[in-house]
């Protein structure tokens, strides 16, 4: 078993994968991607990820050059080549090679890349105790800039927010939008259980429509936990009975403090939804073999 990469029509070992320096994904962050989870030899909600990839590509005027069936085959083929039954998949479509300059119309052949590797965003101890977050000075871009619902290769805002958190001794960062409402964490959606109701910011506040987020909303409904999309302020998290974040790479992980203020050490709703999510991931998905 080893990390594997599909690039330019073939699967190679990760150490052998190369991207040309004139690829506009490298030069300008011009492209889109999806993070996908493999568990127990099944790719979870693959078609949902491929649909979101299609929507993101359409949003930046990028034609992947592969239809959904072909991209599905790329993912499954790369996972099989890795030999992993549990892994993280990063599926990317870049604008492809072109001359220097930001003009995307001069790139004629998009590049599809699929990476299959292990990923651990938070170690087991952090997951057990819950995460310590800070409120980042970096603001999420408004929808009038680059729509945050588009999952593009330009993640500099998240990179800077994460850096700020790590340098401050925290685990992750909370990003607000220009109006001061909660958008999301650096690489995950945010949930808060406030006054007996589970709330998560809507896309209009700068939150990505996460696949894991959607799964948790469905699970909450099935478990009889009141849930809704609603704008949240930083103060709402501080007064919440519990809070947690979610993402394909992070999974479901509790938040124990924000800016040094303890939120909660007991997180029964988070734990209940985490178990429901794990059960779905274990039994649903496209078989790799």
pTM for this prediction:
0.94
User: What pLDDT, on a 0 to 100 scale, did the predictor assign at position 192?
Assistant: 98
Could you give the residue numbers annotated as active site?
A: 151
- Give the span between the Cα atoms of 171 and 136, in whole angstroms: 12
- Give the span between the Cα atoms of 188 and 206, in whole angstroms: 12
276 contacts 222 by C-beta, under 8 angstroms: yes
One pLDDT digit (tens) per residue for the chain, 289 residues:
899 999 999 999 999 999 999 999 999 999 999 999 999 999 999 999 999 999 999 999 999 999 999 999 999 999 999 999 999 999 999 999 999 999 999 999 999 999 999 999 999 999 999 999 999 999 998 877 888 889 999 999 999 999 999 999 999 999 999 999 999 999 899 999 999 999 999 999 999 889 999 999 999 999 999 999 999 999 999 999 999 999 999 999 999 999 999 998 899 999 999 999 999 999 999 999 8
| Cα distances (Å, whole numbers) of residue 221 to 37, 132, 194, 226, 248 | 23, 28, 16, 7, 20
pLDDT tens per residue, range 109-136: 999 999 999 999 999 999 999 999 999 9
User: What pLDDT, on a 0 to 100 scale, did the predictor assign at position 289?
Assistant: 86
- Give the span between the Cα atoms of 58 and 221, in whole angstroms: 31
- Give the span between the Cα atoms of 132 and 126, in whole angstroms: 9
| Cα distances (Å, whole numbers) of residue 84 to 7, 71, 81, 226 | 18, 19, 8, 37
Of the candidates 217, 271, 275, the one whose C-alpha atom is nearest the C-alpha of residue 244 is 271
Q: Where along the chain do the CATH 3.30.470.10 domains lie?
A: 4-117
User: What pLDDT, on a 0 to 100 scale, did the predictor assign at position 148?
Assistant: 83
Q: How many CA within 13 A on the CB side of residue 275?
A: 7
DSSP 202-240: -GGGT----HHHHHHHHHHHHTT--EEE---BHHHHHT-
- Give the span between the Cα atoms of 238 and 254, in whole angstroms: 14
Topology annotation, domain 124-283: D-amino Acid Aminotransferase; Chain A, domain 2 (3.20.10)
The helix/strand/coil state of 279 is helix
Helices (H), the chain: 24-28, 46-59, 68-82, 124-129, 156-167, 211-222, 234-238, 268-283
pLDDT tens per residue, range 201-234: 999 999 988 999 999 999 999 999 999 999 999 9
Under CATH, which architecture does the 4-117 domain have?
A: 2-Layer Sandwich (3.30)
Q: Where along the chain do the CATH 3.20.10.10 domains lie?
A: 124-283
């Amino acid at each position: 078993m080893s990390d594997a990469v599909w690039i330019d029509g073939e699967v190679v070992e990760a150490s052998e994968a190369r991207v040309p320096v004139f690829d506009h994904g490298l030069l300008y962050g011009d492209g889109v991607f999806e993070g996908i989870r493999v568990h127990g030899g099944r790719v979870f909600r693959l078609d949902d990820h491929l649909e979101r990839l299609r929507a993101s590509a359409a949003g930046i005027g990028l034609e992947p050059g592969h239809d959904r069936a072909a991209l599905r085959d790329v993912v499954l083929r790369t996972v099989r080549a890795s030999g992993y039954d549990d892994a993280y998949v990063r599926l990317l479509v870049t604008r492809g090679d072109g001359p220097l300059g930001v003009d995307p119309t001069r790139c004629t052949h998009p590049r599809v890349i699929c990476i299959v590797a292990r990923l651990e965003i938070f170690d087991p101890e952090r997951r057990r105790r819950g995460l310590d977050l800070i409120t980042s000075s970096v603001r999420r871009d408004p929808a009038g800039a680059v729509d945050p619902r588009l999952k593009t290769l330009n993640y500099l805002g998240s990179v800077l927010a994460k850096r700020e958190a790590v340098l401050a001794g925290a685990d992750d960062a909370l990003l607000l939008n220009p109006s001061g409402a909660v958008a999301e964490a650096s690489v995950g959606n945010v949930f808060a259980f406030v006054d007996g109701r589970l709330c998560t910011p809507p896309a209009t506040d700068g939150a990505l429509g996460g696949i894991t987020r959607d799964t948790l909303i469905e699970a909450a409904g099935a478990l009889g936990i009141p849930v809704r999309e609603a704008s949240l302020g930083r103060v709402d998290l501080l007064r919440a009975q519990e809070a947690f974040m979610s993402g394909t790479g992070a999974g479901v992980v509790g938040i124990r403090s924000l800016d040094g203020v303890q939120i909660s050490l007991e997180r029964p709703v988070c734990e209940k939804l985490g178990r429901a999510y794990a059960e779905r991931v274990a039994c649903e998905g496209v078989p790799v073999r």
